[in-house]
Amino acid sequence: MTKLAIGIIGILFSGCGMWDCPQPPNLTKVGYDANYIAGYNDGWPSGWAAGSYLYCCFKKDTHRYENDSQYKQGYDDGFTMGKGKSEAVDRVARSAYFGK
């Protein structure tokens, strides 16, 4: 029971503010295109939400996604990374609870 409580608390407070979706990495410093960054920043919380993280919401500018290749690539990359991170957190929680 203690492992479960510690796991849940760790998940809730891991790298983000209380009740917030974890923030995406700052891609501005790396030199990515502004449209790519905008897409990544929209795809990131959408990926977390798709991975069942309760504190993130889907966000997508459909018009830009269909018409801007940089936004689309950024969104897809952000979505993939966000979903992967969310699934990793879920695996850690399950292993803490089930001990596997």
pTM over 0.85: no
SS3 49: helix
How would residue 6 be classed by pLDDT, with cut points 50, 70 and 90?
low
Per-residue pLDDT of 29-80, as tens digits, reads 888 999 999 999 999 999 999 887 777 889 999 999 999 999 999 999 999 9
How would residue 23 be classed by pLDDT, with cut points 50, 70 and 90?
confident
How would residue 100 be classed by pLDDT, with cut points 50, 70 and 90?
low
DSSP 16: S
Residue 96, pLDDT score: 79
Residue 38, pLDDT score: 96
Q: CA–CA distance from 3 to each of 7, 12, 40, 86 (Å)?
A: 6, 14, 34, 20
